[in-house]
Chain A
Amino acid sequence: EAGVAQSPRYKIIEKRQSVAFWCNPISGHATLYWYQQILGQGPKLLIQFQNNGVVDDSQLPKDRFSAERLKGVDSTLKIQPAKLEDSAVYLCASSLGGARGTFGSGTRLTVV
């Protein structure tokens, strides 16, 4: 089966610019996660969707981050405006229902 697809793989932006990441989960997976992984740390959950509804966004900085999952399939994560500390790898994962998701390869964001 095809894995979790993410794009772009790399993105470099200036601070205060906006950026968007895209995720296509494994077909049939109802649950989708976005994680932020800062260099030298483990992934940290930002937001969890069940179909197109938000289950947990308690660690999402809502003043600048937003995410949506239209039609319960693809998802986009947006940052506006970006800060230097947002430099990280953004990982998308999907699962049939449990927290044991399959991860994509991630998008590496560098904010300069």
Chain B
Amino acid sequence: GQQLNQSPQSMFIQEGEDVSMNCTSSSIFNTWLWYKQDPGEGPVLLIALYKAGELTSNGRLTAQFGITRKDSFLNISASIPSDVGIYFCAGQGAQKLVFGQGTRLTINP
């Protein structure tokens, strides 16, 4: 089946630093999505990307849909304590979402 490789698996950073994570796939996707999951909650959509090469921002978050349609990255600028959580990429094909394994972000104040 389709698999997404998300890296890094975990990150430990200082407050105020920038963060970068990415997701790669062996399959082409029509849409890339980035979610954040807090403990005890379901994933919440952060950014959706619909076209190859698209670069989209949401506040301090910026994500790009790779030209090959097989990868995407998410950047967080000037991290703050509430950015702590697990970030998931998801690729959409044929009305179904395939999720990556997640990147756990920990921030030292």
Contacts and interface: CB of A to CB of B under 8 A. Distances in A.
Interface of A: 4, 40-45, 48, 55-56, 91, 93, 98-100, 102-106
Interface string B22-33: 000000000101
A102 B97 CA distance: 13
A18 B102 CA distance: 30
Contacts, number: 51
Tell me the interface secondary structure of chain A in the complex.
loop
A43 B41 CA distance: 12
A103 B42 contact: yes
Contact of A106 (B6, B42, B45): B42
Interface in B23-52: 31, 33, 40-45, 48
A105 B43 CA distance: 8
